[in-house]
Amino acid sequence: MTLKVLSVASEAAPLVKTGGLADVVGALPAALAAQRVEVTTLIPGYPSVLAKLGKTKAVHKWDALPGGPARLLAGKLGEARLLVLDAPALFAREGGPYADASGRDWDDNWRRFAAVARAAADIAGGAVKGRSFDLVHAHDWQAGLVPAYLRLAPLAGGRSVPSVITIHNMAFQGYFPGEIFPALGLPPSAWTVDGVESYGGVGFLKAGMQLADAITTVSPTYAGEIRSVEFGMGLEGLVLARSSRVHGILNGIDTKEWNPATDPHLAACFTAGKLAARAKNKRAIEAEFGLERDDGPLFIVVSRLTWQKGMDVFAEVLDHLVGIGGRLALLGSGDAEIEQRFHAAAARHPGRIGVRIGYDEALSHRLQGGGDAILIPSRFEPCGLTQLYGLAYGCVPVVSRTGGLADTVIDANPAALAAGVATGFQINAVNAGALAMGVSRTVALYHQTAAWKRLQTNGMKADFSWGASGAAYAALYRQLIEEQE
């Protein structure tokens, strides 16, 4: 039997993306189609989304969602089914999905995403004629209230369907003051620690974790880490209490978007058997970033420039990286202070370090296609996608040993090298000494041409497609639906 799943999120590639969440939500429909699961994705109608949608059809109307009236538009996300919540009072504004142009979070984010969640629960409950769903898959705090509405405030006469919540990043919890509770349209009984209340406020992610039928996160290691204070960020007790319902399912990558043999962004396409063609891409990066040509490794970074990503510590080892013959091309944006430190390093090392502050999808492909090694020294990393793109593109990942980074990169230690299975480098702590050591190990192995090539080809031949993970999600959905019957 084909299952029908409503996937609810605040972003979905290629329509709206600020990070890995969008990649995953955008890739899930195709990943699950292979498992006889038909996914419909619901996202908010930001202006950028409405502008890109093309032909749509209004399929439902609300007079009084949180925030006012709204329409539901049906369209397409690539080949897949898409629903868009067009609620102008909440979403028709310039800026990003969560913040204004100056980076300040919208004051009414709670209302914006409560509206999406309420709409999702109505849709799943059968409010829209001709559309029914067997399960709802909510992503991150923005969709955290979906399980709460389904459980605690179902549609009168509506169908009750099971729900799954996926935590893409525990650091973002959607925590708001208790005063907003009456405006959510939940019954007073929802205001308990078994409902949406969290440390005296309303916790959107917490509510989802409390009330969904299953909790997933995006790697097995992170699923274990969030049981601890350090990674659970206040919700570790809930993770422990519901541990039999917590699953770690690794993200896959969209192998159509990220295929070096066909990538239209690259100066030269290549395969594991034709690695020499990468040189042209490397030359292109050198030209674009004003870097000198030499025979040392070209490191790249494609990242948010934040504390989570360890970029403050990485900035401390740049002189070392250059001192041992490395060069760096960095693409990212984030904390102004960290950006400043990279600019300063580029000024100190002209021709050796090049920095682009901003967000540029095409450039991120070009960097993966021509860089020798990608640095990802995260303090925590639920799954991480850039190391997977690096592996697929022969851009060797140098990562900290945490979360999904630990699960996907095989360290080039002597045993792994002897067995011929290494794919990158793991750094065992996020401090300047450990990062400097990781960079040194990378430079040293880069000069052993045959061993380096083996690292690259091992990574390129590894399977990070959605096959296994799609099957794991489908099995979980089917189990939850059976439990409910």
CB nearer to ligand ADP: pick between 196 and 367: 367
Min CB(168)–ligand ADP separation in Å:
7
By C-beta, is 128 or 367 nearer to ligand ADP?
367
- Angstrom distance (rounded) from CA 138 to CA 145: 9
Strands laid side by side in the 214-217 sheet: 57-65, 68-77, 80-86, 37-44, 3-8, 135-139, 163-167, 214-217, 246-248
Beta carbon nearer to ligand ADP, 271 or 308: 308
* CA nearest neighbour of 391 among 253, 296, 282: 253
End-to-end CA distance of the chain: 15
Q: Does 271 bind ligand ADP (CB under 6 A)?
A: no
For residue 286, how many other CB atoms are within 10 A of its CB? 19
Sole binder of ligand ADP in the list 10, 109, 386, 402 (CB under 6 A): 386
For position 173 contacting ligand ADP by CB under 6 A, the verdict is no
Choice from 98, 106, 175, 359 touching ligand ADP (CB under 6 A): 359
Determine the Cα–Cα distance for residues 48 and 12; give it in Å rounded to an integer: 12
How many residues are listed for the chain in this entry? 485
| 263 binds ligand ADP per the rule CB under 6 A | no
**Is 20 a binder of ligand ADP (CB under 6 A)?**
yes
Q: Does 408 bind ligand ADP (CB under 6 A)?
A: no
**DSSP-derived pairing of the beta strands 396-400 and 135-139:** unpaired
Q: How far is the CB of 22 from ligand ADP (least distance, A)?
A: 8
212 binds ligand ADP (CB under 6 A): no
CB of 87 to ligand ADP, least distance (A): 25
- The answer to whether residue 361 forms part of the interface with ligand ADP (CB under 6 A) is yes
Interface with ligand ADP includes 390 (CB under 6 A)? no
Measured from the CB of residue 472, what is the shortest distance to ligand ADP in angstroms?
A: 18
Q: Residue 14, preceding bond cis, omega within 30 degrees?
A: yes
User: Residue 255 and residue 464: Cα distance in Å, rounded?
Assistant: 8
User: Are 116 and 83 spatial neighbours (Cβ–Cβ below 8 Å)?
Assistant: no
Which listed residue (14, 19, 88, 351) binds ligand ADP by CB under 6 A?
Answer: 19
Q: In this structure, are residues 424 and 396 in contact, taking their beta carbons and an 8 Å threshold?
A: yes
How many CB atoms sit inside 10 A of residue 478's CB? Answer: 17
Q: Which of 196, 246, 302, 353 binds ligand ADP (CB under 6 A)?
A: 302
Q: Using alpha carbons only, give the angle 246, 248, 253 rounded to the nearest 5 degrees.
A: 145
Selected from 304, 327, 366, 379, the binder of ligand ADP by CB under 6 A is 304
Stretch near ligand ADP under the rule CB under 6 A, chosen from 1-9, 42-50, 189-197, 296-304: 296-304
Nearest-CA neighbor of 472 among 217, 196, 240? 217
Residue of 23, 134, 225, 411 that binds ligand ADP (CB under 6 A): 23
Taking the complex as a whole, the smallest distance from the CB of residue 113 to ligand ADP amounts, in Å, to 18
**Run of H or E including 366:** helix 361-370
Select 78 or 178, whichever has its Cβ closest to ligand ADP: 78
User: Containing H/E element for 216?
Assistant: strand 214-217
If one asks whether residue 203 binds ligand ADP (CB under 6 A), the answer comes out as no
Of 163, 303, 400, 402, the one binding ligand ADP (CB under 6 A) is 303
How many Å apart are CA 447 and CA 152, to the nearest integer?
61
The verdict on 140 binding ligand ADP (CB under 6 A) reads no
Q: What is the DSSP letter of 402?
A: S
Number of residues that bind ligand ADP (CB under 6 A): 17
Which residues are CB-neighbours of 268 under 8 A, at least 6 positions away?
A: 277, 278, 279, 280, 281, 369
Residue 334 tokens read as: 């984030």
- Within residues 307-346, the interface with ligand ADP by CB under 6 A covers 331-333
Least Å distance between CB 385 and ligand ADP? 4
Is 28 one of the binding residues for ligand ADP (CB under 6 A)? no
Nearer Cβ to ligand ADP, position 165 or 385?
385
**Smallest distance, ligand ADP to C-beta of residue 419, A:** 28
Q: Which residue is nearest to ligand ADP (CB)?
A: 20
β-bridge mates for residue 74, sequence order: 57, 83
Contact pick of 328, 385, 391, 410 for ligand ADP (by CB under 6 A): 385
Counting contacts by CB under 6 A, is residue 105 touching ligand ADP? no
Per the rule left: phi > 0, alpha: psi between -120 and 50, beta: everything else, 157 is left
Instruction: Copy the structure tokens of residue 206.
Output: 């917490």
CB atoms within 10 A of CB 57: 8
Question: Binding to ligand ADP by residue 366, rule CB under 6 A?
Answer: no
From residue 379, how far is each of 225, 376, 402 by CA, in Å? 12, 9, 7
- Regarding 384 and contact with ligand ADP (CB under 6 A), the answer is yes
Footprint of ligand ADP on this chain (CB under 6 A)?
Answer: 19-20, 23, 302-304, 331-333, 359-361, 364, 383-386
